[in-house]
Structure 1
């Protein structure tokens, strides 16, 4: 089995959560197994080892898990993009539409410097709203988002398509039909 199939085989589908008709793609089994987690992280490390971004930005909350470990392995900084009201310092914020409503994310105003090359990471791309909001925040502070990355893409929801159309290169490991 190749690495991507191995990773996909460890993603649990939870039907009808958080609402009827949704097939929730749960990455926690990937994190529970040291071997699977290492294979997962290695996919991203190998992707960015030579391009060496200046910083990894992780989207709240599962993007923190992958992003912080990736930043550690690449020996670069990690920046959290959090849900509104969770950061203690001066922030910029961006409101966006989700599959189930709307939300706001924030970033410290000193999180990145103008010209920083950033990889923006999350666990999953559904409608693309969260990643687009993160991209906008980073760009407002002068950073260059060189790529968006995620473990899972849900093509039916067209989020990855919207992100690519906005000019954001994307790297995803697996996709699932349905949502």
Structure 2
């Protein structure tokens, strides 16, 4: 009887461990880097690449940049900034119903109050330039984030230069 019990226990253990073993899948997934070719397009091709004219994505694609950078403790519009803002003017004139917000930003140096005021001056400098080029001021709002929303994290000149900026954001598309 003991031998029968041992045999039954061994058979049960064998069946239990066999049930837990991992089976190899019949079809293996592709190795990293192996990608299937994209499916062939059928029907008409969207010349805009799926981007709606007058949208925020269209603005980012069409304007030279959505960002103007500034020097340390500066808020003047230099030649590079003028070229960027002129490309924004061209786009905004094509879509007269679009409204924008210009965000003013600073680097991490300086007090919170100082940076909020400087960010406001930067945003308003960009707004005033756009208005002088014919964009209705009623279409443009400004906000200052000071040093609260850096794009570059770091305490070096390169990071600070990236964070001293005014960013144009499309609020509502055409």
Return the TM-score normalized by structure 2.
0.25
More helix by share: 2
More RCO (CA 8 Å, sep 6+): 2
More strand by share: 1
